[in-house]
Amino acid sequence: MRDPTMSKVGRLVAAGCVMTLAVGSAAACNRGSGEDVVGLITKTDTNPFFVQMKKGAQIEAKKQGLELQTFAGKQDGDNESQVQAIENLMSFGAKGFLITPNDSKAIVPSIDKAHQQKMLVIALDTPVDPPNAADATFATDNYQAGKLIGQWSKAKFAKDGKQAKIAMLDLNANQVSVDVKRDQGFLDGFGIQVGDPNKIGDENDPRIAGHDVTNGDEDGGRTAMENLMQKDPSINLVYTINEPAAAGAYQALKNGGKDKDVTIVSIDGGCPGVDNVSKGVIGATSMQFPLKMAQLGVEAIAQFAKDGTKPQATPGKDFYDTGTQLITDDPQAGVEAKDSTWGKQNCWG
């Protein structure tokens, strides 16, 4: 049973106090009577996507009169840090927290403990497993993000009268949900029939030159592109899981003298990626909104603290869709988009 004095004793003095949690340690803040506490737990505190989340949470917490505590592990995959962060928030008497889970399954027992203290738990960007272990998920519709760049690519190649030969640069071999949904959404948008919608690489369309993995970084993108170019030199369209992988793919194409003949599409909406759209490195990208995710999440916790109302999923979906926007300087008929100037005004990182 929850100690009725905990919410008072466990609160912190300074509004907006920030803590970065490393394995087995945490920065300490003075405790005392203060405003209601809300938490943000990200995978790391260095990735620009999570930095932007922190900014959004800080803005909304100040607006709502909440005291924000932020935590992050040393690296992606560090579940123990997130477990300890939840323990800290429980001791502070937090009203709830937002989390981008490092291990969607392993974090669930800690979320269950938080629920025993009547805390609201919102997953950001990445759902927990099972998804209903959290009270809500605020995220990009990754299938739709992939579908938008697929639709744009289909329209562009039809207009240019070209037959596509496609390289698929995915994340890794683990078939994680964000990877699968983006990959399958792109194929759907391009008009390619997929096999199992929950599995990458089982389509048999001859327009697919092949799949390779990038680990979502530039070096991985370059290596994967080199591998697929050796397999099929006729590749002229490259799907990438994210913009760092796209930058690596471009370097491989440029080194091979093929950068002018190949179109690259991606997903993220980070400022470096939008810059690459303006330079023509990336033909089109689907922008995510991490700041909005965190703002809406903190707003939901504030509402829950006031009257117990829990956030509802977007109609027709099992999560709250925080939106995605196609960014391109080469607009195609029938595909709604914003240009890179708008993208630079709304990008993150």
Tell me the per-residue pLDDT of 277-292, one tens digit each, with 9 for 90 and over: 999 999 999 999 999 9
Give the pLDDT score at 183: 98
Q: What is the pTM of this model?
A: 0.85
3 backbone dihedrals φ, ψ, rounded to 5°: -70, 120
Q: pLDDT under 50 in the chain at which residues?
A: 1-34
What's the pLDDT tens digit per position in 183-223? 999 999 999 999 999 999 999 999 999 999 999 999 999 99
Judge whether 274 and 344 are in contact, CB under 8 Å: yes
The sign of the dihedral angle between the CA atoms of 184, 188, 189, 190 is positive
**Please, what is the end-to-end C-alpha distance for the chain in angstroms?**
42
Judge whether 102 and 78 are in contact, CB under 8 Å: yes
Judge whether 60 and 38 are in contact, CB under 8 Å: no
Q: Cα dist. 42→18, 79, 81, 162 in Å? A: 12, 11, 10, 43
The single-letter code of the amino acid at 327 is I
Order of strands across the sheet with 237-240? 208-213, 166-170, 237-240, 263-268, 284-287, 325-328
